[in-house]
Amino acid sequence: MIVTEVKEKKTWLLTLFVLLFAIAGTAFAADDDALIKRALQVLGPLPASMPSEENPITPEKVRLGKILFYEPRISLDGTVSCSKCHPIALYAADGLRKSVGHNCTENPRNDPTVFNAAGQISEHWIGNRTSVEDQAKQAVIGPPSFGMPSYESVEKVLRAYKQYELLFKAAFPLDKEPATIDNFAKAIGAFERTLITPAPLDAFLKGNKDALTAQQKSGLGTFIDRGCVGCHFGPFIGGQMYQKFGIFEPYQKYTKSEKVDEGRFAVTKNETDRYVFKVPVLRNVAMTSPYFHDGSVDKLEEAVWIMGKIQLGKDLPKEQVQDIVAFLHALTGKIPEDAMTVPLLPSLQ
Ligand code: HEC
Ligand code: HEC
């Protein structure tokens, strides 16, 4: 008699637990659905490609562009290639505060990754390059990077290699003289337009509720609620607008920058553009320390706290900062397989 009573109690308790778990489970699932819905209003999964009307992507252009990305012989001292400052192994950023070009010349700013870069309104921190093609073209004569004296001098180097002539011909079959600086820029641009890195966030937004950890989900909610998405929005989580860096307090106070950078003022000479920078893409941000245009901050925790303080006027509590950082880790994406292999470069012989 007593035995059956205990048994009944056990079954009853078990049913209660199962019911509770089921209710909690549905509640979590409903929470996830609501979070996905909210996130889709301000963020969004990465597109499958970053096309350009002026520069349609073809396999031949991408192949040539990838080779040119590794080419150092088009620099003043023969040591500088795109991959020197954007090494794929470091998520296409160089890990330095300020990049170093030919003859050890220091660049004025930190280098952002080229992954997903083609999806932005413009290129560079102050938006002084209109597209990835424009960026690639101007880089070769940039005094702190390749340092070449003229576009003609770059074309001369390329034309000295028979294999480049053939690769350019294959990529631009309608051109009489295909090895030009504009086609150089188009080929590299086409390669960059393939550098898309889908991340756990994309899987989550497409309905895979296990793609993010509980802390990352909480961080995503905080990222939306606290207003980060006011500037870092869209599928690239940034790259779509310019904003003053230091709205509530001057950025120099927190970044310990030794030199004041006036930002977009240098481009427009407009007073309202002083200290204005492009809102950076946050995809792969956990892999591309140090942070900010001056590379002055090493830790993502610190960068996030500074953002709250000077962009939103909020002193974010430690727990919220940690949750946001966990979420930012969910933006680390998969590097396309083709980009993970190193190409062989043409020989003069
Ligand atoms: C000497 C190092 C160096 C070399 C070489 C170099 N870059 Fe960069 N790259 C930088 C720096 C520094 C920036 C940021 C410049 C700025 O905003 O003022 C940058 C910015 C960029 C951006 C803009 C990213 C964004 O989010 O705004 C792209 C795209 C890019 N580089 C691609 C290339 C390509 C393609 C090449 C080769 C043709 C190249 N870079 C060569 C250092 C370098
Ligand atoms: C008012 C616009 C605005 C808001 C709001 C904002 N940001 Fe930013 N964020 C920027 C700008 C502009 C920069 C570039 C600063 C610079 O020049 O270095 C930036 C840079 C960053 C960086 C450094 C990226 C890198 O590659 O160096 C991180 C990380 C970041 N923001 C995260 C956040 C987080 C997290 C929040 C919310 C707590 C937030 N931001 C809110 C505009 C904003």
What was the pLDDT predicted at 258?
A: 75
> What average pLDDT does the chain have?
94
Q: Is 105 exposed, middle or buried (0-12, 13-18, 19+ CB in 10 A)?
A: middle
At residue 73 the predicted structure's pLDDT band, cuts being 50, 70 and 90, is very high
pLDDT of residue 349: 85
Per-residue pLDDT tens for 211-264?
A: 999 999 999 999 999 999 999 999 999 999 999 999 999 999 988 777 889 999
Average pLDDT over residues 190-211: 98
> Using one digit for the tens of pLDDT, what is the confidence trace for 274-303?
999 999 999 999 999 999 999 999 999 999
If you measure from the C-alpha of residue 101 to the centroid of ligand 1, how many angstroms do you get, rounded to a whole number? 11
Within 8 A by CB and 6+ apart from 245, the residues are 251, 263, 275, 276, 277, 292, 293, 310, 311
Q: Left (φ > 0), alpha (ψ -120 to 50) or beta: where does 284 sit?
A: left
User: How many whole angstroms separate alpha carbon 230 and alpha carbon 202?
Assistant: 20
- The torsion angles phi and psi of 342, rounded to 5 degrees, stand at -95, 130
Confidence of residue 9 (pLDDT cuts 50, 70, 90): low
Per-residue pLDDT at 26 exceeds 70: no
Cα-to-centroid distance, 112 and ligand 1 (Å): 7
Mean pLDDT of 45-59: 96
List residues near ligand 1 (CB under 6 A): 80, 82, 84-86, 99, 101, 107, 109, 111-112, 114, 117, 120, 123-125, 132, 135-136, 139, 145, 188, 281
Whether residue 25 has pLDDT greater than 80:
no
pLDDT for the residue 3 = 54
User: Is 169:62 a contact under the CB 8 Å cutoff?
Assistant: no
Q: Which ligand ends up closest to the CA of 66?
A: 1
The answer for 170, left when phi > 0, alpha when psi is -120 to 50, beta otherwise, is: alpha
The tens digit of pLDDT for each residue in 310-344 reads 999 999 999 999 999 999 999 999 999 999 999 99
